[in-house]
């Protein structure tokens, strides 16, 4: 398997522009997670989906952020409008949960998207 | 609510020194515990995990961790570190039935040659 795929790997945009980050989870996984990592705040869980349904979006900073998972193999995280304080590395991770096996809940991380908003 | 505490934010060691990174969690139920490593400029990778059974878990690259239920701890150890172990280490916990991992704030390890 190719692992979790994220695109783009780097994104530089101007304040006010819309940014869309993409994630393809590992085939067969039923949970998907979006994280943000900054020096100041560390690793933060933004939102996660189980079976394509958003379960917990309490980490989403504000209404400018939205996430969708239209099917089991694709998710997007959108920021509109973007602001300089959104600059961070955004990670997507996937896992399989629900079987009670030791490999459940282990999250596999993608390479991340480094976002710079100027 | 679940939480994870990593008390050492920055650790500096010389090569061949022994390493122990602390991790304490708060959750009253059955837990699954993880240590992830993030090398500079890279994504998080799993080092080891505890699900059940032997509380002493061995992971990749010579790392091990011990689950002590009475202390709510899952400390990471390595008897002799190498320069290539320079990275950030994250402890994480989930409870049975919870899909999400709760991460600690991470410990930055710098190993000097």
Q: What digits encode the pLDDT tens for the residues A45-91?
A: 999 999 999 998 999 988 999 999 999 999 999 999 999 999 999 99
> Residue B90 is nearest to which of A43, A102, A110, comparing CB atoms?
A43
> Residue B43 is nearest to which of A100, A102, A109, comparing CB atoms?
A109
pLDDT tens per residue, range B24-72? 999 878 888 999 999 998 999 999 999 888 999 999 999 999 999 999 9
User: Which positions in chain A touch B103 (Cβ < 8 Å)?
Assistant: 42-43, 45
Sequence-distant (≥ 6) Cβ neighbours of residue A36 within 8 angstroms: A43, A44, A46, A88, A89, A90, A91
* A90 and chain B in contact, CB less than 8 A: no
Give the CA distances from residue A106 to residues A88, B2, B13, B29, B32, in Å, rounded to whole numbers and listed in that order.
24, 17, 29, 18, 9
In residues, how long is chain A? 118
* A70 and chain B in contact, CB less than 8 A: no
In the numeric block, the tokens 């096996």 are attached to: A101
Compute the count of residue pairs across chains A and B with CB atoms less than 8 Å apart: 48
Count of Cβ atoms closer than 10 Å to residue A61 Cβ:
13
pLDDT tens per residue, range B77-100? 999 999 999 999 999 998 766 667
Joined together, the tokens standing for residue A110 give 């993608």
Residue of A nearest to B50 (CA): A102
């Amino acid at each position: 398997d190719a692992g979790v795929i994220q695109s783009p790997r780097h994104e530089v945009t101007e304040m006010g522009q819309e940014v869309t980050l993409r994630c393809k989870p590992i085939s067969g996984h039923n949970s998907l997670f979006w994280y943000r990592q900054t020096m100041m705040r560390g690793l933060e869980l933004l939102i996660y989906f189980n079976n394509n349904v958003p379960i917990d979006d309490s980490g989403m900073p504000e209404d400018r952020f939205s996430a969708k998972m239209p099917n089991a193999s694709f998710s997007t995280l959108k920021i509109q409008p973007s602001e300089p304080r959104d600059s961070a590395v955004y990670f997507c991770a996937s896992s399989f949960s629900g079987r009670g096996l030791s490999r459940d809940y282990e999250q596999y991380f993608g390479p991340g998207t480094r976002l710079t908003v100027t | 609510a679940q939480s994870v505490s990593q008390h050492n934010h920055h650790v500096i060691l010389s090569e061949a020194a022994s390493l122990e990174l602390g991790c304490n969690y708060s959750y009253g139920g059955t837990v699954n515990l993880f240590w992830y490593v993030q090398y500079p400029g890279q994504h998080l990778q799993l080092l080891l995990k505890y699900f059940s059974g032997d509380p002493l878990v061995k992971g990749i690259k010579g790392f091990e961790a011990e689950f002590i239920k009475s202390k709510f701890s899952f400390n990471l150890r390595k008897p002799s570190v190498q320069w290539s172990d320079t990275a950030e280490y994250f402890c994480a916990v989930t409870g049975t039935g919870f899909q999400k991992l709760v991460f600690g704030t991470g410990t930055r390890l710098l190993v000097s040659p």
